[in-house]
Amino acid sequence: MILPDSKIELARRGNKVVYDLGDKIAKVFNDTKPVSDVFNEALNLARINECGIRSPKALEVTEVEGDTTGWALLTSKVPGTTLAEKMEAEPQRFGEYLEQFVDLQIEIHHYTSPLLNRQRDKYARMIGGLEAINATQRYNLMERLDGMKKEFKVCHGDFNPTNVIVGDDGELYVCDWAHATQGAPAADVAMTYLLFALGSKEQAEAYLDLYCERADMPKQVVRQWMPIVAASELARKRDLEESFLMSWIDVFDYQ
Ligand SMILES: Nc1ncnc2c1ncn2[C@@H]1O[C@H](COP(=O)(O)OP(=O)(O)OP(=O)(O)O)[C@@H](O)[C@H]1O
Ligand SMILES: [Mg+2]
């Protein structure tokens, strides 16, 4: 397909550009992104659509030609504003938005989707291939992963306020299911905690307190996941602070 001239750029990151096409959204990847990852994101989204979680609808995976080229994922557009934009525009209401955010994540963690990729397999693969740490550290992380309770709940994998859209209809929708798996909610919480902590330690602690209180989850379990989640994030090589993630991998005593 060829993208219309009327398209509006919403976000530009390392390997992709997100466009608003009016009634649809196109996430267009450059050629460093394996095509199978684009299809995987589409498949994740289709599974999430099928289990009933409010999210954009997966429409197609297509090769874009013309001025903009690359493989693209097309989804329905959810008209609205992200929770991140709301939090920034009204910092005095941060607490209120955080409550909505946490309740939504807890709601997602009640869903199951038995065909989604498994979180444990994904972490094991990422730790196994991580060059930034040595074999001893990798072994410690793998052992830690093996010891964690086995659960099979829907986990978004990148749950942060930029991926939550407050729809014009007043409902909350969740986008960006590229990293979704079935697994342990506490691991998903550890990821969200790390994402908050990159910007503000205070917000991260407020988030963790609220999630654990409302979900009746021990904070210690979330903390046990942190080195594993930090290592997997390091393997993703996003723009996140490498030294920050390394400090989370090192923080625990491996004696
Ligand atoms: N279906 C949609 N409807 C409305 N807005 C959307 C939709 N999909 C994406 N957006 C907007 O575009 C932004 C970027 O999209 P998305 O989160 O999917 O990409 P990303 O964060 O770059 O991906 P990744 O986390 O996989 O690197 C979102 O934060 C949101 O503001
Ligand atoms: Mg996103």
What is the number of the ligand closest to the CA of 178? 1
Residue range 171-196, pLDDT digits in tens:
999 999 999 999 999 999 999 999 99
Q: Is residue 223 pLDDT above 50, yes or no?
A: yes
Q: Is residue 255 pLDDT above 50, yes or no?
A: no
Residue range 46-105, pLDDT digits in tens:
999 999 999 999 999 999 998 889 999 999 999 999 999 999 999 999 999 999 999 999
Instruction: Say if residue 89 is in the same domain as residue 156.
Output: yes
* Pocket-forming residues, ligand 1, beta carbon under 6 Å: 10-11, 13, 16, 18, 25, 27, 56, 75, 77-78, 82, 158, 162-163, 165, 175-176, 178
Range of the domain at 50: 8-76
Q: What integer pLDDT is reported at residue 246 of this predicted model?
A: 86
What is the number of the ligand closest to the CA of 27? 1
- The protein residue whose alpha carbon is closest to atom 11 in ligand 1 is 10
Residue 255 lies in a domain: no
Q: What integer pLDDT is reported at residue 247 of this predicted model?
A: 83
User: For the domain that residue 33 is a member of, what is the CATH number?
Assistant: 3.30.200.20
Atom of ligand 1 nearest to the CA of 76: 1
Residue range 10-42, pLDDT digits in tens:
999 989 999 999 999 999 999 999 999 999 999
Last residue of a domain, one of 25, 47, 76: 76
Residue 178: both structure tokens together: 């590229």
Cα 146 to averaged position of ligand 1 atoms, centre (Å): 33
Q: What integer pLDDT is reported at residue 240 of this predicted model?
A: 63
| Domain count along the chain | 2
Q: What integer pLDDT is reported at residue 161 of this predicted model?
A: 98
Instruction: Say if residue 99 is in the same domain as residue 215.
Output: yes
Q: Is residue 113 pLDDT above 60, yes or no?
A: yes
> 235: pLDDT confidence band, cut at 50, 70 and 90?
confident
Q: Is residue 155 pLDDT above 50, yes or no?
A: yes
Atom of ligand 1 nearest to the CA of 78: 3
Instruction: Say if residue 181 is in the same domain as residue 131.
Output: yes
Q: What integer pLDDT is reported at residue 254 of this predicted model?
A: 45
Residue 102 lies in a domain: yes
Dist. CA 238–CA 189, nearest whole Å: 19
Q: What integer pLDDT is reported at residue 252 of this predicted model?
A: 56
Last residue of a domain, one of 76, 101, 119: 76
> 239: pLDDT confidence band, cut at 50, 70 and 90?
low
Mean pLDDT of the region 205-233: 97
